[in-house]
């Protein structure tokens, strides 16, 4: 079998909105540059996601020249599109000196803060989602997540809990072979899709370090799945009981976790930042 390699790199510029494939990206200690930098929050600061607002799947952010982004030095215009809405253009900055209107953000059990991106953005997203909200850009070094698995804290931005999510492409293929309906890999919202491995081989990396390009990560745990993979990404709809829908229905038959729920893919923390390119080999370290 060929060596494991990066088949796909995917960034989610706005948490829980549509993702973007890129040929290369810089992996920092708190995740890929621009991945989940932006978060939609309700008036009380609680983050919004497809779990409660499945129409977020229809929101498609675009940031020019993604293939050429550097280490937190890019600034430009983010263009956001959604059905039956005018394009929204938002100034997108990556220097703390550019920040104004600080805003508290709560993501699960963690509190962080960021920059409110303004009234125009708030009104645009609020109109499309039929819910008052604000667009917030997370600030680097402003949110810590404590891992009970590692018993340590580390920096994150808009991710649920870990900076990087890795998924094996053969794992998706095997799941789809078992399931009654096809689920695209992008529904699982992984940052890195790995080829050249056996189905679920990424599970065996838990507790080990991996090197991709110039970056080194620790694989901490299996990724516990939420209902988002069941959202129809083309129409933005979530079933009343997603656990009776694919892919969760099939995952429950053979990937149920002892603590409840189901797993697919792995979560990682970053030990050494670096550039990662599509096609890079994956080296499994001790």
C-alpha–C-alpha distance, residues 69 and 219, integer Å: 26
Q: What pLDDT score was predicted for residue 67? A: 41
- Mean pLDDT over 207-221 rounds to 98
Q: What percent of the chain has pLDDT over 70?
A: 93
Per mean pLDDT, which range of 4-8, 96-100, 246-250 is the poorest? Answer: 96-100
C-alpha–C-alpha distance, residues 196 and 6, integer Å: 9
Q: What pLDDT score was predicted for residue 66? A: 47
Q: How confident is the model at residue 9 (pLDDT cuts 50, 70, 90)?
A: very high
Q: What pLDDT score was predicted for residue 141? A: 75
pLDDT tens for 109-168 read 999 999 999 999 999 999 999 999 999 999 877 788 989 899 889 999 999 999 999 999
- Average pLDDT over the chain, rounded to an integer: 92
Q: What pLDDT score was predicted for residue 112? A: 93
Q: What pLDDT score was predicted for residue 73? A: 42
Higher pLDDT, 102 or 43: 43
Asked whether the whole model's pTM tops 0.85, one would answer: yes
Is residue 74 scored above 90 in pLDDT?
no
Q: For the chain, list the domains and their CATH numbers.
A: 5-284 (2.40.33.20)
């Amino acid at each position: 079998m060929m060596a494991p390699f990066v088949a796909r790199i995917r960034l989610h510029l706005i948490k829980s909105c549509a993702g973007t494939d890129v040929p290369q990206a810089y992996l920092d200690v708190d995740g890929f540059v621009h991945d989940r930098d932006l978060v939609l929050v309700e008036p009380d600061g609680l983050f919004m996601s497809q779990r409660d607002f499945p129409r977020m799947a229809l929101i498609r952010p675009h940031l020019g020249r993604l293939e050429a982004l550097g280490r937190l030095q890019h600034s430009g215009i983010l263009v956001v599109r959604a059905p039956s809405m005018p394009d929204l253009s938002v100034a997108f900055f990556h220097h703390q000196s550019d920040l104004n209107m600080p805003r508290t953000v709560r993501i699960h059990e963690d509190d962080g803060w960021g920059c409110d991106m303004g009234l125009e953005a708030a009104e645009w997203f609020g109109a499309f989602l039929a819910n008052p909200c604000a667009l917030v850009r997370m600030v680097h070094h402003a949110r810590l997540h404590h891992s009970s698995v590692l018993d340590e804290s580390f920096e994150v931005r808009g991710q649920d809990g870990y900076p990087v999510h890795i998924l094996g492409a053969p794992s998706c293929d095997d799941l789809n072979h078992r399931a009654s309906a096809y689920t695209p890999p992008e529904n699982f919202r992984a940052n890195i899709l790995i080829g050249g491995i056996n189905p679920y081989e990424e599970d065996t990396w838990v507790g080990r370090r991996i090197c991709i390009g110039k970056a080194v990560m620790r694989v901490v745990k299996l990724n516990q799945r939420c209902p988002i993979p069941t959202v129809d990404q083309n129409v933005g709809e979530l079933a009343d009981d997603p656990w009776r829908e694919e892919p969760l229905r099939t995952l429950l038959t053979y990937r149920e976790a002892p603590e409840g729920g189901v797993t697919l893919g792995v979560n990682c923390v970053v030990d050494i930042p670096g550039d990662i390119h599509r096609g890079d080999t994956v080296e499994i370290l001790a």
